Amino acid sequence: MSVLVMKFGGTSVANIDRIRRAAKRVGLEVAKGHDVIVIVSAMAGKTNELVGWVNEISPLHDAREYDAVVSSGENVTAGLMALVLQEMEIPARSWQGWQVPLLTNSAHSAARIEEIPTDNITAKFAEGMRVAVVAGFQGLSPEGRITTLGRGGSDTTAVAFAAAFDAVRCDIYTDVDGVYTTDPRIASRARKLDRIAFEEMLELASLGAKVLQTRSVELAMRYNVRLRVLSSFEEPSDEAGTLVCAEEDIMESNVVSGIAYSRDEAKMTLVSVADRPGIAAAIFGPLAEAGVNVDMIIQNIAEEGRTDMTFSCPTDQVKRAEKALSDARAAGAINYHDLIADTDVAKVSAVGIGMRSQSGVAAKMFKTLSDEGINIKVIATSEIKISVLIDRKYMELAVQALHDAFGLDKAA
Amino acid sequence: MSVLVMKFGGTSVANIDRIRRAAKRVGLEVAKGHDVIVIVSAMAGKTNELVGWVNEISPLHDAREYDAVVSSGENVTAGLMALVLQEMEIPARSWQGWQVPLLTNSAHSAARIEEIPTDNITAKFAEGMRVAVVAGFQGLSPEGRITTLGRGGSDTTAVAFAAAFDAVRCDIYTDVDGVYTTDPRIASRARKLDRIAFEEMLELASLGAKVLQTRSVELAMRYNVRLRVLSSFEEPSDEAGTLVCAEEDIMESNVVSGIAYSRDEAKMTLVSVADRPGIAAAIFGPLAEAGVNVDMIIQNIAEEGRTDMTFSCPTDQVKRAEKALSDARAAGAINYHDLIADTDVAKVSAVGIGMRSQSGVAAKMFKTLSDEGINIKVIATSEIKISVLIDRKYMELAVQALHDAFGLDKAA
């Protein structure tokens, strides 16, 4: 019997009507012959209410109690979904995390999944149950306490179940209808992708395409779980959504699959740093300790024993970065003439698996920007991504121009 | 170390401020040296919200899923209470029913407690924990699923914990400040009782003094748990509330401890029933099958092979009783001339342990009512209770007159 995992986010189960609508989709898959594991989030707004109470009591709360409180939202949805399915005469029952049990480590509020024993649910499928509804986002610690998996925990739960049960696919129902070549609010010709490789999805997710949590994509990649992202507000169809899958499952990779952007980047330059072995460590060590997420790093060619060092970080970490660096200078660990922060920049990236085998992508990107009169301030490249920092006012223009230049408005 | 059980109902934990207030009371008991087990209900309104959703989906729902959904309200309060106590620097943690585990049978939504293993919580007390906050109303079935205990389940949970841990006392915090000699809305001179015997409390509870659920009082009586009912909205004091305890713990029993009443009684008379052995069974069998709660039963002396049979039942069950009896007549099981339903009656009862040893209580009750010109329609007595049915319009007058006649306005 083939197992399918379906995950419904908070907006997809926001009230009884929406739970009914989600259950109908589950019914369609049951009718196709699948045994279905449904992973549910809390009804939209419920988790925020619970988190609000905990924070009202204590901003520095015991994470174990936080987890016990906050996990209750998913438990409610799981029971309600099971009841709706039963009303549709589909044999179903709910499982809370501790009942599966979904075993995690003890890192409360950010627990990692360690094991999902399958015998309990498999036995029920064998007895004729067709749908196991599992409360997402939660697990059981070795100490027997409830844990939660942190941000995006329900997506991660779904992928972990798909891996444990060797599911044919893991469908993530959300309020967007798939992964786009870029943000449609910026480029009206943005197009939904039918398929995208795990690696590309990871680059797009971390760059701001907030469709799937990075962690769940990483997990799917590791266990080769075919992930489908689709909207619970569209008519069901086999073509719906975007399939996130292994590179081998994509016939003809696009050279560039998507254009990502990030508005909240700052460029910082340490002017005239005394150049010596170990200087990079002396600069970026204190930044890491201060919790600054450094992204791109550029070191210009040194002249006469001095060099300029440029890096980017989120704009809201600029003050922290400045303090860390001036403290390091005061302590004599580093030496520089000036520190210039440019908070009027944005990052634009082209992402695509095809870059690996195709040359000239960077050149095409630079020429496109040059043709639009956009000056590139910093360049960073990886195997499947090219990123540039530019003036923020040109960000939309750059995204549109690159989207057209790489032909993303046309189906592959 | 002495263990104290404290139970807070839904209005006592309705919001964060009230949870804080309840926690302060817990803190006072901890300061006195007690290890405290706190049993909490769901925040007021939350259980109704959850039950509403379940019924919206399915009036004839799977009780196992109902229990999984509805129990989540108590889990939230338990975690929040533990967090508030931790903020007060009192070592505390929460337990959900399955974590204790509070073991029940499989009668979902009306489960009976079978066992409460104490080792888990006792070990934590030994490690320095001072307060165990336990979600009330819920347990774990032999199949590993969540059960709920039904109406008054949190009171029952509290008493069961007090019995299991051999607690010094079980304090039930609610929105009334104790058990009264009668309803203060009817008799302004009604007085709070300092102590009341279990048996008296049972008679008063089933007669409409809705302070404690009958089931929890029965359990307390069986295990001799000293129960205190008190308000969470009054200043803490050692004299607060009413202690419900064994008869031996009450120095001088009152002849009459309280006057109870019930407005929703109906008197039904089967006129001229053919009198023969087994006739009572032939009448009350069908009524029981129809779910009619028959209270008082009177059979007049039979004459010429015929008798009148009178009984009382709740007014909203009159139609059901009429149908059951006319069906039985149609089937030839019973034979009567007429069935008269009088729905304009009320029941007034005097309850007191002292009646056992004191004669003349009934006579005093009848004379008091007679002096007020109140006609008695039906009389029923038990060892510690005398009940009468009277015209409903005299109910308040009867309660006031009896309250004064038995000196209940004066402290014993």
Q: What is the pLDDT of residues B232-256, one digit of tens each?
A: 988 888 889 999 999 888 877 778 9
**Two structure tokens written together for B343:** 């729905």
A339 touches chain B (CB under 8 A): no
Strands A297-299 and A376-382: unpaired
Nearest-by-Cβ selection for B58 from A83, A144, A145: A83
Q: Which residue of B has its CA nearest to A94?
A: B65
Whether the pLDDT of residue A262 is over 80: the answer is yes
Q: Which residues contact B402 (CB under 8 A, 6 or more apart)?
A: B256, B259, B348, B350, B365, B368, B369
Please choose, from the candidates A250, A180, A166, A168, the residue with its C-alpha nearest in 3D space to the C-alpha of residue A212.
Answer: A180
Task: Give the span between the Cα atoms of B3 and A229, in whole angstroms.
Answer: 53
Q: Tell me which chain A residues have a C-beta less than 8 angstroms from the C-beta of B84.
A: 57-58
Nearest-by-Cβ selection for B69 from A56, A68, A79: A79
Q: Which residues contact A209 (CB under 8 A, 6 or more apart)?
A: A179, A180, A183, A258, A260
Whether the pLDDT of residue B76 is over 80: the answer is yes
Task: Give the span between the Cα atoms of A327 and A317, in whole angstroms.
Answer: 15
| Residue B175 pLDDT class (50, 70, 90 cuts) | confident
B54 touches chain A (CB under 8 A): yes
Task: Give the span between the Cα atoms of B123 and A215, in whole angstroms.
Answer: 38
Q: Which residues contact A232 (CB under 8 A, 6 or more apart)?
A: A8, A9, A11, A12, A18, A21, A22, A25, A173, A174, A175
Give percent of chain A above pLDDT 90: 74
**H/E run at residue B403:** helix B395-405
Identify from A48, A49, A57, A131 which residue to disrupt to test chain B contact, counting B C-beta atoms within 10 A and taking the largest count.
A57
| Residue A170 Cα, gap to closest chain B Cα (Å) | 25
A259-405 matches A3-175 in CATH topology: no
Question: Which range among A178-187, B294-303, B312-321 shows the weakest confidence by mean pLDDT?
Answer: B294-303
CB contact under 8 A, B62 and A16: no
The string of DSSP codes covering B148-179 is: E--TTHHHHHHHHHHHHTT-SEEEEEESS-S-
**Is the CB of residue B133 less than 8 Å from the CB of residue B40?**
yes
A166 φ/ψ angles, rounded to the nearest 5 degrees: 50, 50
The label of the residue with tokens 């490249």 reads A381
Q: Tell me which chain B residues have a C-beta less than 8 angstroms from the C-beta of A54.
A: 79-80, 83
Nearest-by-Cβ selection for B96 from A68, A76, A79: A68
* Residues linked to residue B228 through DSSP beta bridges, in sequence order: B171, B243
In 3-state terms, what secondary structure has residue A62? coil
pLDDT at B411: 66
Task: Give the span between the Cα atoms of B20 and B357, in whole angstroms.
Answer: 47
| Residue B24 Cα, gap to closest chain A Cα (Å) | 14
C-alpha distance from residue B156 to each of B37, B141, B149, B323 (Å): 14, 17, 8, 36
A78 touches chain B (CB under 8 A): yes
**Is the CB of residue B44 less than 8 Å from the CB of residue B14?**
yes
Whether the pLDDT of residue A33 is over 60: the answer is yes
Query: Could you tell me the residue ranges of all domains in chain A?
Result: 3-175, 259-405
Whether the pLDDT of residue A369 is over 80: the answer is yes
**Is the CB of residue A167 less than 8 Å from the CB of residue A37?**
yes
A83 touches chain B (CB under 8 A): yes
CB atoms within 10 A of CB A393: 11
Average pLDDT over residues A112-138: 97
pLDDT at A2: 92
| Residue A60 Cα, gap to closest chain B Cα (Å) | 9
Strands A92-95 and A131-135: parallel
**H/E run at residue A313:** strand A306-314
Average pLDDT over residues B217-230: 94
A59 touches chain B (CB under 8 A): no
Region of B89 (left: φ > 0; alpha: ψ -120 to 50; beta: rest) is left
pLDDT at B345: 95
* Maximum pairwise Cα distance, chain A: 80
| Residue B208 pLDDT class (50, 70, 90 cuts) | low
A98 touches chain B (CB under 8 A): yes
Distance of CA B193 to the CA centre of its chain: 17
A31 touches chain B (CB under 8 A): no
B85 touches chain A (CB under 8 A): no
Q: Which residue of B has its CA nearest to A66?
A: B79
CB contact under 8 A, B65 and A54: no
Q: Tell me which chain B residues have a C-beta less than 8 angstroms from the C-beta of A96.
A: 68, 146
Give percent of chain A above pLDDT 70: 97
Q: Using one digit for the tens of pLDDT, what is the confidence trace for B331-355?
A: 999 999 999 999 999 999 999 988 8
pLDDT at B114: 96
Q: Tell me which chain B residues have a C-beta less than 8 angstroms from the C-beta of A24.
A: none
**Two structure tokens written together for B368:** 């008091």
A135 φ/ψ angles, rounded to the nearest 5 degrees: -70, 120
Identify from A46, A53, A100 which residue to disrupt to test chain B contact, counting B C-beta atoms within 10 A and taking the largest count.
A53
B143 touches chain A (CB under 8 A): no
The label of the residue with tokens 């924070």 reads A55
pLDDT at B412: 55
Q: Which residue of B has its CA nearest to A100?
A: B144
Work out the angle at residue B193's Cα, subtended by the Cα atoms of residues B189 and B197, and round it to the nearest 5 degrees: 140
Task: Identify the top-confidence range among B68-82, B356-370, B383-397.
Answer: B68-82
Helix count and strand count (H, E) for chain B: 12, 18
A109 touches chain B (CB under 8 A): no
Question: Which range among A401-410, B145-154, B173-182, B296-305 shows the weakest confidence by mean pLDDT?
Answer: B296-305
**Is the CB of residue B65 less than 8 Å from the CB of residue B31?**
no
Work out the angle at residue B253's Cα, subtended by the Cα atoms of residues B4 and B232, and round it to the nearest 5 degrees: 35
**Is the CB of residue B173 less than 8 Å from the CB of residue B232?**
yes
Q: Tell me which chain A residues have a C-beta less than 8 angstroms from the C-beta of B94.
A: 65, 68
C-alpha distance from residue A91 to each of A75, A77, A124, A125, B147 (Å): 18, 17, 10, 9, 20
The CATH number assigned to the domain with range A259-405 reads: 3.30.2130.10
**Is the CB of residue A351 less than 8 Å from the CB of residue A207?**
yes
Q: Using one digit for the tens of pLDDT, what is the confidence trace for A348-359?
A: 999 998 888 888
| Residue B93 pLDDT class (50, 70, 90 cuts) | very high
**Is the CB of residue A297 less than 8 Å from the CB of residue A313?**
no
pLDDT at B207: 58
The label of the residue with tokens 């304009």 reads B344
CB contact under 8 A, A98 and B98: yes
pLDDT at B204: 83
Q: Using one digit for the tens of pLDDT, what is the confidence trace for A137-155?
A: 999 999 999 999 987 899 9
Question: Which range among A60-64, A209-213, B6-10, B371-375 shows the weakest confidence by mean pLDDT?
Answer: A209-213
Task: Give the span between the Cα atoms of A38 and B101, in whole angstroms.
Answer: 27
Q: Which residue of B has its CA nearest to A19?
A: B57
More confident residue, B8 or A1: B8
| Residue A71 pLDDT class (50, 70, 90 cuts) | very high
Average pLDDT over residues A65-76: 97
Question: Which range among A115-119, B3-7, B91-95, B407-411 shows the weakest confidence by mean pLDDT?
Answer: B407-411
Average pLDDT over residues A290-313: 86
More confident residue, B383 or B22: B22
CB contact under 8 A, B62 and A96: no
**Two structure tokens written together for B77:** 């309060």
Task: Give the span between the Cα atoms of B283 and B125, in whole angstroms.
Answer: 57
pLDDT at A209: 56
CB contact under 8 A, B50 and A76: yes
pLDDT at A411: 66
Average pLDDT over residues B32-36: 97
Q: Tell me which chain B residues have a C-beta less than 8 angstroms from the C-beta of A50.
A: 76
B119 touches chain A (CB under 8 A): no
pLDDT at A204: 83
Q: Which residue of A has its CA nearest to B60?
A: A87
Ranges of beta strands (E only) in A152-241 are 169-174, 195-197, 227-231
pLDDT at B209: 57
Q: Using one digit for the tens of pLDDT, what is the confidence trace for A250-261?
A: 877 778 999 999
Q: Tell me which chain A residues have a C-beta less than 8 angstroms from the C-beta of B72.
A: 72-73, 75-76
Task: Give the span between the Cα atoms of A154 and B76, in whole angstroms.
Answer: 20
The string of DSSP codes covering B202-231 is: HHHHHTT-TTS-HHHHHHHHHHT--EEEEE
* Maximum pairwise Cα distance, chain B: 80
Identify from A24, A83, A84, A96 which residue to disrupt to test chain B contact, counting B C-beta atoms within 10 A and taking the largest count.
A83
A56 touches chain B (CB under 8 A): yes
Task: Give the span between the Cα atoms of B316 and B170, in whole angstroms.
Answer: 35
Q: Which residue of B has its CA nearest to A133?
A: B65
Q: What's the full length of chain B, in residues?
A: 412
Strands B258-274 and B138-140: unpaired
CB contact under 8 A, A65 and B76: no
Instruction: Give the mean pLDDT of chain B.
Output: 92
Number of residue pairs across A and B with CB atoms under 8 Å?
A: 106
| Residue B389 Cα, gap to closest chain A Cα (Å) | 46
CATH fold, domain B3-175, is Carbamate kinase (3.40.1160)
| Residue B398 pLDDT class (50, 70, 90 cuts) | very high
**Is the CB of residue B181 less than 8 Å from the CB of residue B190?**
yes
